[in-house]
Amino acid sequence: MARERVYTLPFVWSKTVWTITLLYYAVAVVIVGMLVYLLVNGATAAAVAGLVVALPVLVGIMIFCEGYSPQRLEISESQITVLRRYDSITILRSTILSIKPLESKDMRWTLSMGGCGGLYGYFGSYTNRHLGTFTMYATAMDNLYLISLSNGRKVVIGCTEPKLLLQTFAFSE
């Protein structure tokens, strides 16, 4: 029995994702600096307590978002898998009705309904007027593909090798 060929593609961060993530880290570093400064200079307990609470919240958000961010995309004849540190997502070929490329206008006025909108990527639940509600796994807002599933759900994924995705699933642009 021949083994199924599996292609593994990295999710590549866009400049926007890099910027948002680095700014988030900068805020965390500033809070640590402020905390150290206040502790050294004998600040009020309330000021220190506020920063002591803020820091673990920021770090927790960073750990959560990094763990659930899309790392790699695996494409095979039987499935598409979004590999993440904590919980990978598998979409079986038998559940896919269609795969079609999205244009930038298709993503206008997209709102996050729960997930991450730039820190380590774009993932979670989103909505917009054109697509309705969908789940997205991407690290850039280009080369996005809409996967319509037999259960009525919609998934938007980013793919650095669009032709490979479309050829593997015999869909054409």
Both tokens of 165, joined, read 């995705």
Lowest mean pLDDT among 20-24, 42-46, 58-62: 42-46
Question: 158 phi and psi, to 5 degrees?
Answer: -95, 145
Residue 33 has a pLDDT of: 83
Overall CATH class of domain 1-173: mainly beta
Both tokens of 70, joined, read 């899309």
- pTM, whole model, 2 decimals? 0.86
- pLDDT for residue 45 is more than 80: no
Long-range Cβ contacts of 52-55 (<8 Å, 24+ apart): 55/28, 55/31
pLDDT tens digit string along 73-98? 999 999 999 999 999 999 999 999 99
- pLDDT for residue 39 is more than 80: no
Domain positions in the chain are: 1-173
